[in-house]
Amino acid sequence: MKNLLLTFAVFLVSLNLYSSDLLQPADTQNTFVFYVAHLFIPQFSSESFYSKRMFSVSISESNTIFDPVYFKNNEKNAVIDVETSCMSLLYSEKILYDIELYASISFIRHWSGFLDGPIENFHSLPVFGSGLPNGGREHVPRNEMSIYYESGGKNFNFTKSLFGITDPSFYIKKGFVLNKFGFYFSAAVKPAVGSKDFINSKTVDFGLSSGVDFRHDKIYLFGSAALVKYFGNGSFADELEQNKKYMSSVCIGGGYSISENTAVVAQFYIHSSIYDTGVKRLDLPTVCNTYAFRWRYCKSSVLQFDITEDTFTYATADICFNIKNETRF
């Protein structure tokens, strides 16, 4: 009888563990072409639900449009119309005292894309009455790429696809739990390895972050803050008036466990601008929302589907679709 009760208790604990590992931050990153090459520190969980190692692969497609008419009204000549495809690899391993080491790298392609039509059709659905604003898509051709910016007699112009491998990023994290509250601290660095425009930042980035979370039954709440410092001059720093050498960010969100194998997560993310162009939509903080669905399809693997949308500003992708697979071993 004692062995039976012990087995049942272990089973209940394992159910709670498997439920908890679904409730994680969705990890928002700004895929806007002027930011994607820089260091972004993930939104970590204070707890790690793997014994030794974790590996994830994520594939995203984001669509960005920055209204050229808005630029002209602000005495700038620019067009930002691009789609960004990204495949990111992340590996994590626990070392002494449950300290975790992470390494990540991404493959990025900026190109003309295919989402302009579906987005415009969605915005014009009758359910939205007179329709949602298209953010300037009506002023540019569908599914064509243009990354053009002119300021102070200097300019750059890209109309053909850009592809490359980002600089690697490295993180170290330590978390601990007190009752239902968890805390973590992390540090990160991204060296300057590559030299491709809008693929590699050409800066050495160093960052610190900390976070807190709360778990109770099926509910998960979390928040984090980060500060990243840039060393060196980034791509087209003079043209873009990149006068700020740091970026701060805050993320808050929550999740709910629908069942033993499914959960939903929503989070709100904001980061400061590194530019001082005189164009408010570039100079103001970037704000976006992420909505994720997480599904454990086997004991050691979780599949995540998420969508990130811009909220108040334009210095981020209009929309980003992402799918991620996490495997623990």
pTM: 0.88
Domain assignment present for residue 161? The answer is yes
Q: Are 159 and 91 in contact (CB under 8 A)?
A: no
Tens digit of each residue's pLDDT (9 = 90 or more) over 124-181? 887 765 667 777 777 788 888 999 988 777 889 999 999 999 999 999 999 999 888 9
Q: Do residues 46 and 118 lie in contact, with contact meaning Cβ atoms separated by under 8 Å?
A: no
pLDDT band at 19 (very low <50, low <70, confident <90, very high): low
pLDDT tens per residue, range 169-227: 999 999 999 888 999 999 999 999 999 999 999 999 999 999 999 999 899 999 999 99
pLDDT at 137: 78
H or E element in which residue 148 lies? strand 146-151
User: pLDDT digits over 292-306, tens only?
Assistant: 999 999 988 999 999
Is 276 within a domain?
A: yes
How many domains does the chain fold into? 1
Q: What is the CATH number of the domain that holds 196?
A: 2.40.160.40
Q: How far is CA 254 from CA 22, 221, 268, 284, in A?
A: 12, 4, 9, 25
Instruction: Tell me the percentage of the chain whose pLDDT exceeds 70.
Output: 91
Residue 220 inside a domain? The answer is yes
pLDDT at 265 over 60: yes
d(CA 187, CA 95): 15
Beta bridge pairs of residue 302? 296, 326
Structural domain of 139: 21-324
Model pLDDT for residues 304-328, shown as the tens digit of each residue: 999 999 877 678 898 999 999 999 8
What is the pLDDT at residue 286? 92
Residue 14 belongs to some domain of the structure: no
Answer whether residue 9 is part of any domain.
Answer: no
Least confident of 100-114, 241-255, 284-298, 305-319: 305-319
Checking if the pLDDT of 29 tops 70, the result is yes
The CB-side HSE value for 311 (13 A sphere, CA atoms) comes to 15
pLDDT reported for residue 112: 94
Which two structure tokens, joined as six digits, stand for 146?
């243009």
Query: Mean pLDDT over all residues of the chain?
Result: 87
Residue 223 maps to a domain: yes
In a domain? residue 304: yes
Rounded to whole angstroms, the Cα distance separating 133 from 154 reads 31
CA pair distance 65, 112, nearest whole angstrom: 11
Cα(109)–Cα(300) distance, integer angstroms:
30
Please check whether residue 31 lies inside any domain of the structure. Answer: yes
More confident residue, 49 or 249: 249
Per-residue pLDDT reduced to its tens digit, 55-67: 999 999 999 988 7
